Amino acid sequence: MGMKHRMLCAAASVWLAACSTPEYQRAAAECRSQALQTWPVVLEQRLMRRSRTVMVPDGSTTCQSTQTQSNSRQGDTLQATSTCRQGMRRAIEYFDEPGTVDVNAGSRERYVEDCATSLCLQRFGNGRCGK
């Protein structure tokens, strides 16, 4: 199972928990201890793909010129000064960095969801413990 799939499962679990009833939360809590015995927390160091937004040159340049006139013994002189700035745009940069991953988290959360749904069906006649 890929890292994206695990992250999606974890996000879905959090979302479901946030939207669930207190009865469902209690059923999930009952199932969690058995899940931890079957799928204990196993932490491993792995390289994880991350992204960040960076500014990169976009190929454009914007210049502003100013002219100043000065008087000297040789006569009036006109001096031009230009200030140029490179155009920039946002880009996504991907990089790998070490991170700690619970390799059993996905299996454990799937078990908790299935177990809690089963308890809800037994107690309330539906999988969300709705009354």
Task: Name the burial class of residue 108, with classes exposed (0-12), middle (13-18) and buried (19+) by CB atoms within 10 angstroms of its CB.
Answer: buried
Given pLDDT bands bounded at 50, 70 and 90, which one contains residue 6? Answer: low
3-state secondary structure of 64: strand
Question: Residue 63 is which amino acid?
Answer: C
> Domain extents for the chain?
1-42+103-131, 54-100
pTM over 0.75: no
Report residue 65: phi and psi, to 5°: -110, 145
The number of helices, as runs of H, and strands, as runs of E, in the chain is 3, 2
Quick: pLDDT tens for 68-121.
887 777 777 888 899 999 999 999 999 999 999 999 999 999 999 999 999 999
Quick: pLDDT tens for 46-68.
999 999 999 999 999 999 999 98
Report residue 41: phi and psi, to 5°: -70, 120
Are 24 and 120 in contact by the 8 Å Cβ rule? The answer is yes
Question: Residue 48 is which amino acid?
Answer: M
